[in-house]
Amino acid sequence: MKRTCTSLMLAGSLLAGGQAMAADLLQWQNNSLTYLYGKDFQVNPRIQQTVTFEHADAWTYGDNFFFVDKIFYNGEKDFNAGPNTYYGEFQPRISLGKVLDQKIEFGPIKDVLLAMTYEFGEGDTESYLIGPGFDLAIPGFDYFQLNFYQRHTEGSRAGDNVWQITPVWSYTIPVGDSNILIDGFMDWVVDNDSNSKGDYHANLHFNPQVKYDLGKALNFGEKQLYVGVEYDYWSDKYGIKDSQVFKTDQSTTSFLVKLHF
């Protein structure tokens, strides 16, 4: 199944990358850099500084999201990765509505998509995900996505037929002369009893950001410069079951600065 997922993701990325080179096929794109500083992380060293590059775009037949984190452990060394590490994800989605050139709408559902994710980084991190995705119209939200993946994890965490549910959202609240933006995601790996190795436990990762549009307040430019916090809750982090001997339930808040360009 890994080969099938890889082939589909490669086909999707080649189609997106190759055709998006034509300017008329690229509908919009946005890039950003984020700096994060936080304490009380689990599994890895407790103090972390992270620099994140993100890219998002929409094109004629779908959308893409990519990010890569460069994580520094504030002078400490992680047992596996050393004083710093990296982690990233590539998430292409193919829109059935766009491919068929017709609206696929019923109830709150505004589009149906083929959603894929490739996770990569140092150590035992490689995973392939594929499944149905939905764009939802929920009152008040800038956007709301709901993706269902069958997750195929490599290495010591391997296990087939593991499902992950991933909502992604954005919500804007006007405050005075500016806005507060609340956005983020949740990865919920469920029903992992079928994993024959039993090394990758079901887990839930909830990761919202609450950001003030400082750029708009200072007339620097709307949706350009944000300051705020990121909350990171992760039960059974990395799929490692929490225990009295080894704590893997994480709850931490990080300060952030984010610049869009």
Q: Does residue 248 sit within a domain?
A: no
- The single-letter code of the amino acid at 123 is G
Mean pLDDT of 19-35: 82
Count of CB atoms situated within 10 Å of the CB of 101:
8
The H-or-E segment that residue 98 falls in is helix 96-100
Domain that residue 81 falls in: 2-240
Longest Cα separation, the chain: 57
Instruction: Please tell me the distance from the alpha carbon of residue 174 to that of residue 30, in angstroms, as a whole number.
Output: 22
Q: Is the pLDDT of residue 52 over 60?
A: yes
Q: Does residue 43 sit within a domain?
A: yes
- pTM, to two decimals: 0.86
CB 207 within 8 A of CB 231: yes
Q: Looking at residue 20, what is its pLDDT?
A: 44
**Could you tell me which residues come within 8 angstroms of residue 218 by beta carbon, excluding any fewer than 6 positions away?**
225
Region of poorest pLDDT, from 8-22, 75-89, 96-110, 225-239: 8-22
Q: Is the pLDDT of residue 1 over 50?
A: no
Q: Does residue 215 sit within a domain?
A: yes
Domain CATH code at residue 157: 2.40.230.20
Region of poorest pLDDT, from 1-5, 11-15, 131-135: 1-5
Mean pLDDT of 174-203: 84
Number of domains in the chain: 1
pLDDT grade, residue 4 (50/70/90)? very low
Q: Does residue 108 sit within a domain?
A: yes
The H-or-E segment that residue 133 falls in is strand 127-136
Q: Does residue 253 sit within a domain?
A: no
pLDDT grade, residue 100 (50/70/90)? very high
pLDDT grade, residue 18 (50/70/90)? low
Q: Does residue 252 sit within a domain?
A: no
Q: Does residue 245 sit within a domain?
A: no
Q: Looking at residue 150, what is its pLDDT?
A: 95
Q: Does residue 86 sit within a domain?
A: yes
Mean pLDDT of 105-128: 94
